[in-house]
């Protein structure tokens, strides 16, 4: 069912409780990456322009259900104030008399940020009494924290039972548009690039997308589980030994469906897992190639890069989830960089390109290509669960349009 959007709300002089994702990385109390705060700005500005009394709530880190100054949202409040050009007050807690008083005194156009919701164990337990206190006197709830929408917590699901209307913010709306709407009837060819370390982490996504995709390109450490299952030598490469039968099932299903399920033609290998280590490309797997003992595969090889690139540039819809190599180490980053550049070029050629959260987003940012993709998801686990076809509690709880 279609969900109520922030676009559909009349917020003038009303208290609005908005769930944001300010779970930002900190070093010595300073924010090192404000991407998640920046992502919430459009919805925040929209609500303030509409005259809302805006109350924001978020978690930060894992404080284990009790107050911990290390995980205070104070840096986020200060930074948000700078971005908005107005004062943002940080409440001493997310519930309680002092916080309730600040909310009651909040004028239209003002912003109050509640302290870390995870300072209370009741947040993750989704306890009704806590959710009701968190909702407070708000008439409207807006969820713009897609990255936590797969969790049924008090601030993502529980509060919706104690407000009149619950709507999605602009960020949530875009996530659902691209990870769900655009992939329902994708422009073809539809190519899925799947990487990362474990087949087990992506099995449900692979099975779900195999029904829709024309081609699935597989890289990263997970490729070696498939190679091992097919009988190739993989040396010291990372393999899920208990998932070999599963890998064969996936390959059989792809064949039965007539889908192209392409493993790398070759791989880049190394004998030392460190920056500056010697790397070589193996011979083509189909011609007897493999990774010898004492070596490990750490990236797709040069022939695989060529094959992947040709397929990517021919695509009209591309979904990429997971790097195809250990891109964090420059010596092993060639394949992932090449894939990112190919996806960026496909975007320029008119393809819809979706980066599905997690390390693939980090890679795109590292290579400075983030503004050359159609859409980059802010969700890790939430992105995967949505792609698997699961219903996200934080989305299901929103009011229907």
Residues 104 and 285: their CA atoms lie apart, in Å, by 67
Of 338, 261, 262, whose CA–CA distance to 299 is shortest? Answer: 338
Whether 334 is catalytic: no
Rounded distance between C-alpha atoms, residue 354 and residue 306, angstroms: 21
Q: CA 151 to CA 340: how far, in whole Å?
A: 30
Give 166's contacts (C-beta < 8 A, 6+ positions apart): 4, 140, 141, 142, 143, 159, 160, 397, 398, 399
Q: How many CA atoms lie within 13 A of 269 on its CB side?
A: 23
Can 198 be counted among the known catalytic residues? yes
Catalytic residue among 3, 14, 19, 36: 36
In order, the DSSP letters of 48-109 are HHTT-EEEEE---S--TTS--GGG-SHHHHHHHHHHHTS-EEEPSSSSSHHHHHHHHTPPTT
| Closest to 296 (Cα-Cα) out of 216, 361, 228 | 228
381 is catalytic: yes
Q: Which of 198, 238, 253, 316 is catalytic?
A: 198
Residue 81: C-alpha distances to residues 20, 30, 42 (Å) = 15, 15, 14
The Cα 149–Cα 385 span in angstroms is: 10
Residues labelled as active-site residues: 36, 198, 358, 381
């Amino acid at each position: 069912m279609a969900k109520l959007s922030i676009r559909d709300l009349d917020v003038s002089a009303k208290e609005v409780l908005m769930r944001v994702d300010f779970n930002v990385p900190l070093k010595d109390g300073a924010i090192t990456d404000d991407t998640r705060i920046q992502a919430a700005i459009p919805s925040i500005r929209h609500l303030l322009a509409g005259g809302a009394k805006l109350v924001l709530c978020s978690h930060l880190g894992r404080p284990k259900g009790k107050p911990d100054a290390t995980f205070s949202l104070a840096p986020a409040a200060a930074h948000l104030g700078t971005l908005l050009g107005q004062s943002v007050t940080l409440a001493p807690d997310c519930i309680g008399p002092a916080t309730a008083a600040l909310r009651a005194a909040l004028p239209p156009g003002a912003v109050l940020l509640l302290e870390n919701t995870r300072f209370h164990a009741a947040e993750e337990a989704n306890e009704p009494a806590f959710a009701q206190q968190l909702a407070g006197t708000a008439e409207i709830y807006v969820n713009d924290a897609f990255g936590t929408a797969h969790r049924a917590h008090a601030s993502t699901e529980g509060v919706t039972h104690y407000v009149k209307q619950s709507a999605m913010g602009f960020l949530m709306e875009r996530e659902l548009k691209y990870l769900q709407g655009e992939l329902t009837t994708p422009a073809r060819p539809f190519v899925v690039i799947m990487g990362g370390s474990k087949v087990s982490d992506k099995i449900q996504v692979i099975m779900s997308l195999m029904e829709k995709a024309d081609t699935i390109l597989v890289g990263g450490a997970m490729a070696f589980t498939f190679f091992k299952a097919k009988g190739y030598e993989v040396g010291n490469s990372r393999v899920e030994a208990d998932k070999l039968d599963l890998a064969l099932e996936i390959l059989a299903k792809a064949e039965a469906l007539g889908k192209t399920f392409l493993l790398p033609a070759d791989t880049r290998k190394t004998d030392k897992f460190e920056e500056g280590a010697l790397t070589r490309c193996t011979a083509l797997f189909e011609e007897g190639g493999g990774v010898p003992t004492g070596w490990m595969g750490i990236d797709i090889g040069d022939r695989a890069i060529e094959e992947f690139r040709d397929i990517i540039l021919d695509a009209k819809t591309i979904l990429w989830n997971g790097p195809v190599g250990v891109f964090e180490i420059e010596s092993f980053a060639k394949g992932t960089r090449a894939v990112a550049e190919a996806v960026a070029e496909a975007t320029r050629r008119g393809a819809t390109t979706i980066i599905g959260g997690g390390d693939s987003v980090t890679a795109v940012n590292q290579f400075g290509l983030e503004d050359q993709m159609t859409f980059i998801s802010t969700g890790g686990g939430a992105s995967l669960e949505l792609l698997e076809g699961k219903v996200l509690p934080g989305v299901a709880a929103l009011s229907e349009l």
